[in-house]
C-alpha cells in the first residue's frame, strides 16, 4: 500500500528550536574543550574565563567588575580569584584610579597561561573557517543580533559592543556597502565584518540611543560581498 507523503513541517520542531539546539551543542563543545585545555594548571572553566578577562586588563579588575563581566556571583568570582591567587597566577593590588580599592591582575605566569587559555576556541575558528566569506558575515551579524538581545533582556552582562556604543554611526555611508558605518571615536568607516563585541574604547549609549542605533543598523542589508577580514576585538 502506498504511504501518504510526509510533510516535514508537521514532524519537525520549529526552526528556532533547531538553532537553539545547535548553539547548545557548540556551547557544550566549548565547555568540554575548556576542561581539556585546563591541563596541568587544573583550571575550572570559570577560572579560565577569569584569566582571559584579566588578560585584556593590565591595570587589573575589581572583584565586582570581574563577577559582573562573567555573569557570576561575587562569591563564585571570589572563589575563582582565590584559587588563581593561590596558584600564583593572579596577584592582588590596588586600583590605579582609586588607591583604596583592591584590584586583581595577572602575574607573569598568569599572563603566560592566559595566552594559552585564549587559544582554546581555536577549534571553533577552524570549524568557522569551513564557512565561506558571505556565510561568515551572515552568521556574525546574526550572532551580534542575538548577543544584543541577550544583553537587552539582562540575560548576559553588558557587552562592549559597537551596536550599543555612543560612537557608532550605523549606515551613514550608504554609497559604500562594504563600509557603511563610521566609528566616531577613531573617525573611520567600517563594515559589518569589523563590528566589535569587546572594544576597550566603547562607551555605552543610553537605552533610547541604543534603540535608535539598532533601528538604523538592523534596517540595513548584509554586506556579503567582501571576504572576512580582521577579527573583532
Ligand atoms: S570600534 Fe569601539 S569605539 Fe568605535 S564604535 Fe565600535 S565599540 Fe565604539
49-60 pLDDT, tens digit each: 899 889 888 888
The three cell numbers locating residue 57: 586588563
pLDDT confidence of residue 35 = 59
Report how far Cα 31 is from the mean position of its chain's Cα atoms: 15
pLDDT confidence of residue 39 = 62
pTM: 0.71
Scanning the chain, the segments in alpha helix (DSSP H) are 8-11, 15-37, 45-55, 63-70, 74-86, 108-117, 122-128, 133-152, 207-218
From the CB of 210, is ligand 1 less than 6 Å away? no
- Dist. CA 179 → ligand 1 center (Å): 14
Q: Which residues contact 36 (CB under 8 A, 6 or more apart)?
A: none
Q: Which residues contact 69 (CB under 8 A, 6 or more apart)?
A: 53, 61, 157
CATH class for domain 35-120?
mainly alpha
From the CB of 204, is ligand 1 less than 6 Å away? no
Atom 7 of ligand 1: nearest residue by CA position: 162
Instruction: Cite the residue boundaries of each domain of the chain with CATH code 1.10.10.10.
Output: 35-120
195-231 pLDDT, tens digit each: 998 888 999 999 999 999 999 999 855 444 444 333 3
pLDDT confidence of residue 97 = 63
Q: Give the number of the atom of ligand 1 that is nearest the alpha carbon of residue 161.
A: 7
The three cell numbers locating residue 113: 597561561
The Cα 122–Cα 201 span in angstroms is 26
pLDDT mean across residues, the chain: 84
pLDDT confidence of residue 38 = 59
Cβ neighbour number for residue 62 with a 10 Å cutoff: 15
Q: Give the number of the atom of ligand 1 that is nearest the alpha carbon of residue 201.
A: 3
Question: In degrees rounded to 5, what are phi and psi of residue 196?
Answer: -105, 145
Atom 4 of ligand 1: nearest residue by CA position: 183
From the CB of 196, is ligand 1 less than 6 Å away? yes
Residue 189's beta-bridge partner residues? 182
pLDDT confidence of residue 28 = 83
- Dist. CA 97 → ligand 1 center (Å): 23
Residue 93's beta-bridge partner residues? 103
pLDDT confidence of residue 225 = 41
Amino acid at each position: 500500500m502506498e504511504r501518504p507523503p510526509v510533510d516535514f513541517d508537521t514532524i519537525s520542531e520549529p526552526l528556532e528550536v533547531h538553532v537553539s539546539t545547535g548553539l547548545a551543542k557548540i556551547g557544550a563543545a566549548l565547555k568540554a574543550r575548556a576542561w581539556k585545555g585546563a591541563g596541568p594548571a587544573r583550571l575550572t572553566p570559570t577560572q579560565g574565563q577569569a584569566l582571559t578577562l584579566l588578560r585584556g586588563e593590565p591595570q587589573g579588575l575589581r572583584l565586582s567588575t570581574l563577577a559582573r563581566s562573567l555573569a557570576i556571583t561575587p562569591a563564585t568570582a571570589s572563589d575563582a580569584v582565590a584559587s588563581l591567587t593561590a596558584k600564583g597566577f593572579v596577584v592582588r593590588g590596588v586600583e590605579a584610579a582609586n588607591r583604596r580599592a583592591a584590584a586583581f591582575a595577572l602575574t607573569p605566569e598568569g599572563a603566560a597561561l592566559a595566552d594559552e587559555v585564549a587559544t582554546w576556541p581555536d577549534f571553533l575558528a577552524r570549524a568557522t573557517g569551513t564557512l565561506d566569506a558571505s556565510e561568515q558575515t551572515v552568521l556574525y551579524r546574526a550572532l551580534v543580533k542575538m548577543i544584543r538581545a541577550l544583553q537587552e533582556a539582562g540575560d548576559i552582562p553588558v557587552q562592549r559592543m559597537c551596536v550599543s556604543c555612543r560612537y557608532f554611526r550605523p549606515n551613514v555611508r550608504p554609497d559604500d556597502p562594504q563600509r557603511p558605518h563610521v566609528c566616531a571615536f577613531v573617525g573611520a568607516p567600517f563594515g559589518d565584518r569589523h563590528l566589535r563585541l569587546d572594544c576597550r574604547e566603547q562607551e555605552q549609549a543610553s537605552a533610547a540611543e541604543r534603540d535608535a542605533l539598532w533601528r538604523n543598523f538592523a534596517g540595513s542589508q548584509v554586506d556579503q560581498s567582501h571576504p572576512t577580514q580582521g577579527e573583532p576585538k
